[in-house]
């Protein structure tokens, strides 16, 4: 057999992992100029905090400014949208350097200790004088921690104390699930599908969704944000955003050195199905969650205050923008 006939073309390699059509909305806004303005502000911040060294062109291709522009459509102020882009950059750095990508130094056995140290970047730790220098040295020597602390400080410039606490809580909850996922890898465990989907609700874009009213320039009261019926809408939306992520990142995560779990791979392991079948089933899971989200939103809307209606529209805009960003971001191009 001719050696060239044994090679698999890039198109053939990608075909089984092609993302099926997903149920959802078209993006509310697609403003390339505004997206570029946000990216122009984000680039020097990334250089300042030190994350993604030597990868600035790739970071620009990821389009975090475009992500912010697509999702947060109730403002056109680049400096407010920059807060969302900083959130994406800081949390993707946590994902890459601490959790998933062994090529950039992640180690499953160190996920817990590293995320535990990261708590000090999210909320000030009050130590006596003799212990503070060691803490500051640790916080200033790790670019991921520098980025997290800088991001939280910027949240504080836009948000009330209650909103800052909410942002912090959503990140810390995500850290718990990241630690659990690291344990699965260390122990060679494969989670049940229900277990994976349950943790994915939290290990999702939920910390980013918590910025919706902050970036919009208003405050959804804490008792409304946490009301069970509102929380149901928010968490279903978070699950939908991350299942979309599983789909668009499935091909990339076949590469050596990326130790991640995703829904298509779990379906392949559990059911012995083909990649194409697993992608179709994962898309169906996404669409089922979207229908549950829409039903939950319909239950809340008739009694919603103007502020809550604005927040719910922000959730819907986020869902639409999320799929559009994943469809074109350089982060998922292989």
HEC string of 162-231 equals: HHHHHHHHHHHHHHHHHHHHHHHHHHCCCCCHHHHHHHHHHCCCHHHHCCHHHHHCCCCCHHHHCCHHHH
Stated pTM of the model: 0.93
Query: CA angle, 160 as apex, 93 and 35 as ends, to 5°?
Result: 45
pLDDT value of residue 258:
59
Q: Counting beta carbons within 10 angstroms of the beta carbon of residue 57, is it exposed (0 to 12), middle (13 to 18) or buried (19 or more)?
A: exposed
Higher pLDDT, 84 or 257: 84
Tell whether 124 is covered by a domain.
Answer: yes
Q: What percent of the chain has pLDDT over 70?
A: 93
Mean pLDDT of 109-135: 96
Mean pLDDT of 209-221: 98
pLDDT value of residue 53:
93
| Average pLDDT of the chain to the nearest whole number | 93
Give the model's confidence band at 5: pLDDT under 50 very low, under 70 low, under 90 confident, else very high: very low
Higher pLDDT, 198 or 99: 198
Tell whether 7 is covered by a domain.
Answer: no
Distance separating alpha carbons of residues 108 and 236, to the nearest angstrom: 28
pLDDT value of residue 3:
33
Tell whether 116 is covered by a domain.
Answer: yes
Query: Per this entry, what is the length of the chain?
Result: 334
Mean pLDDT of 306-321: 98
Tell whether 5 is covered by a domain.
Answer: no
Q: What is the pLDDT of residues 64-105, one digit of tens each?
A: 999 999 999 999 999 999 999 999 999 999 999 998 766 666
Q: What is the pLDDT of residues 165-175, one digit of tens each?
A: 999 999 999 99
Between the CA of residue 306 and those of 29, 99, 162, 165, 277, what are the distances in Å? 22, 40, 20, 23, 43
| CATH number where 243 lies | 1.10.600.10
Mean pLDDT of 2-23: 63
Q: What is the residue range of 270's domain?
A: 31-332
pLDDT value of residue 101:
67
Q: What is the pLDDT of residues 133-165, one digit of tens each?
A: 999 999 999 999 999 999 999 999 999 999 999
Total count of domains within the chain: 1
> Could you give phi then psi for residue 205, rounded to 5 degrees?
-85, 15
Tell whether 258 is covered by a domain.
Answer: yes
Residue 7 has pLDDT above 70, yes or no: no
Tell whether 207 is covered by a domain.
Answer: yes
Place of tokens 């996404």: 286
Mean pLDDT of 255-262: 68
Residues whose CB is less than 8 angstroms from the CB of residue 37 and which lie 6 or more positions away in sequence, other chains included: 65, 78
Q: Beta-carbon neighbour count of residue 6 at 10 Å?
A: 7
Mean pLDDT of 216-225: 98
Distance separating alpha carbons of residues 45 and 86, to the nearest angstrom: 8
Please state the separation of Cα 5 from the chain's center in Å: 40
Q: What is the pLDDT of residues 24-72, one digit of tens each?
A: 999 999 999 999 999 999 999 999 999 999 998 999 999 999 999 999 9
Tell whether 2 is covered by a domain.
Answer: no
Tell whether 24 is covered by a domain.
Answer: no
């Amino acid at each position: 057999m001719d050696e060239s006939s044994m090679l698999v073309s890039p198109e053939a390699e990608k075909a089984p992992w092609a993302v099926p059509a997903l149920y959802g909305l078209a993006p509310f806004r697609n403003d390339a100029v505004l997206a570029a303005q946000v990216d122009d502000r984000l680039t020097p911040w990334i250089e300042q905090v030190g994350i993604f060294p030597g990868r600035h062109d790739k970071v620009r291709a990821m389009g975090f400014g475009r992500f912010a522009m697509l999702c947060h459509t109730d403002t056109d102020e680049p400096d407010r949208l920059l807060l969302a882009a900083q959130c994406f950059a800081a949390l993707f750095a946590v994902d890459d350097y601490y959790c998933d990508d062994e090529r950039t130094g992640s180690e499953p056995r160190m996920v817990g200790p590293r995320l535990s140290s990261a708590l000090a970047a999210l909320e000030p730790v009050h130590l006596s004088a003799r212990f503070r220098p060691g803490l500051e040295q640790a916080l200033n020597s790790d670019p991921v921690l520098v980025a997290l602390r800088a991001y939280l400080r910027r949240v504080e410039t836009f948000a009330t104390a209650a909103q800052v606490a909410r942002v912090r809580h959503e990140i810390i909850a995500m850290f718990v699930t990241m630690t659990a996922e690291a344990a699965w890898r260390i122990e060679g465990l494969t989670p049940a599908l229900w277990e994976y989907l349950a943790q994915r609700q939290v290990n999702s874009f939920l910390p980013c969704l918590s910025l919706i009213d902050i970036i919009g320039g208003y405050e959804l009261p804490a008792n409304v944000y946490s009301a069970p019926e509102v929380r149901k809408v928010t968490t279903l939306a978070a699950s939908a955003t991350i299942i979309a992520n599983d789909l668009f990142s499935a091909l990339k995560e076949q590469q050596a050195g990326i130790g991640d779990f995703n829904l298509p791979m779990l379906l392949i392991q559990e059911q012995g199905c083909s990649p194409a079948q697993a992608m179709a089933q994962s898309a169906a899971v996404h669409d089922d969650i979207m229908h549950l989200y829409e039903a939950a939103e319909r239950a809340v809307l008739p009694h919603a205050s103007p502020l809550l209606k604005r927040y719910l529209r922000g959730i819907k805009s986020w869902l639409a923008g999320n799929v559009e960003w994943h469809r074109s971001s350089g982060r998922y191009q292989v």
